[in-house]
């Protein structure tokens, strides 16, 4: 099957622009493959870059059991972080720019060196990383009811919408990321907690997986990029006034507020 890539890129970008959810692509065509979905994702990001945005990093999605159960998808995926979507720690999230956003806590890698697969290990990841810190990602699936298949969510750049990186950084290798604990609070009530081990056993394993997946498409993680390892816990809806705080051992606290 040949996929009309431009059609689906336009479909998803239009949903963002209109802040309106749309039917999943897989509900309209048969046999959307993971490979073809990454072709849509690449073309979507290229369209943003052609419009003046830039790639500042990459993200893993669905790397914890919590997220796999919440989304009904059991395989990790990746997407791209655009410069226009980064907000400073403590930022307010403007709900009128989004469809039905959710927030989730993330462990963040800031890369010192390029990292090219195949064969990248968690050790290689730590060696190529400058700093690690805590973060919060705002995801905003463009699909109705936040419901999709794995190829759908890949085409939609893994629901990426906004991200915030904490200001407390630690040198990679100085702490055991598997043991970092995150307590996630919404409006001062703890809603979830997890340790880094929730991310494929080790957050660095997630970044290794990304490098190895990218290699299959002839790409690599680049020095200077920010990489999100995937949410440690479920994602939670953001509504007007929501204050979300992710408290990390060793990595400080990251707060956002929705307005």
Q: Which residues bind ligand OOG (CB under 6 A)?
A: 59, 61-62, 67, 71, 104, 137, 139, 141, 153, 158-159, 230-231, 235
What is the C-alpha separation between 109 and 71, in angstroms, rounded?
24
In total, the chain counts a number of residues equal to 259
In the complex with Mg ion, the residue whose CB is nearer, 137 or 156, is 137
Question: Cβ 76 to ligand OOG, closest distance in Å?
Answer: 8
Q: Pick one of 132, 136, 231, 238: the residue that binds Mg ion (CB under 5 A).
A: 231
Least CB distance to ligand OOG at residue 62 (A): 5
Measured over all CA atoms, what is the biggest interatomic distance in the chain, rounded to whole angstroms? 50
CB of 69 to Mg ion, least distance (A): 15
Residue closer to ligand OOG by CB (options 110, 159) is 159
Q: Is 132 in the site for Mg ion (CB under 5 A)?
A: no
Measured from the CB atom, the residue of 48 and 102 that comes closer to ligand OOG is: 102
Q: What does 141 bind: ligand OOG, Mg ion, none (CB cut-off 5 to 8 Å by kind)?
A: ligand OOG
Quick check: bond before 118 cis, omega within 30? yes
- Measured from the CB atom, the residue of 116 and 140 that comes closer to Mg ion is 140
* 137 is a contact residue toward Mg ion (CB under 5 A): yes
CA separation for the pair 136, 170 (Å, rounded) = 17
Which token pair is 9?
């890129």
Q: State whether residue 228 is helix, strand or coil.
A: strand
Closest contact distance (angstroms) between CB of 103 and Mg ion is: 9
In our burial notation (b when 16+ CB lie closer than 10 A, e otherwise), range 55-82 reads ebbbbbbbbbebbeebbebeebbbbbbb
Q: Which residues are bridge partners to 156 per DSSP?
A: none
Residues that bind Mg ion (CB under 5 A): 137, 231
């Amino acid at each position: 099957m040949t996929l009309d890539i431009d059609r689906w890129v336009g479909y998803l970008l239009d949903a963002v622009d209109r802040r309106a959810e749309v039917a999943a692509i897989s509900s309209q065509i048969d046999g959307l493959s993971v490979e073809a979905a990454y072709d849509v994702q690449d073309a979507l990001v290229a369209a943003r870059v052609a419009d003046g945005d830039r790639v500042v990093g990459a993200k893993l999605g669905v790397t914890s059991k919590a997220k796999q159960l919440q989304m009904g998808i059991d395989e990790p995926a990746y997407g791209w972080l655009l410069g226009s979507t980064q907000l400073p720690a403590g930022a307010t999230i403007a709900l009128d720019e989004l469809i039905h956003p959710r927030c989730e806590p993330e462990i963040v890698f800031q890369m010192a060196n390029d990292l090219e697969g195949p064969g990248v290990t968690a050790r290689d990841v730590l060696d190529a990383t400058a700093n690690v810190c805590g973060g919060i990602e705002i995801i905003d699936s463009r699909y109705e009811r936040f419901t999709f298949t794995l190829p759908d969510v890949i085409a939609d750049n893994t629901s990426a919408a906004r991200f915030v990186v904490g200001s407390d950084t630690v040198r990679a290798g100085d702490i055991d990321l598997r043991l970092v604990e995150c307590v996630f609070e919404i409006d001062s009530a703890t809603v979830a907690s997890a340790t880094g081990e929730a991310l494929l056993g080790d957050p660095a394993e997630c970044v290794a997986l990304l490098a190895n997946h990218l290699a299959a498409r002839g790409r690599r993680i680049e020095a200077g990029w920010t990489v999100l390892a995937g949410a440690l816990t479920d994602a939670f809806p953001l509504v007007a006034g929501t204050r979300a705080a992710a408290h990390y051992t060793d990595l400080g606290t990251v707060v956002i507020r929705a307005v």
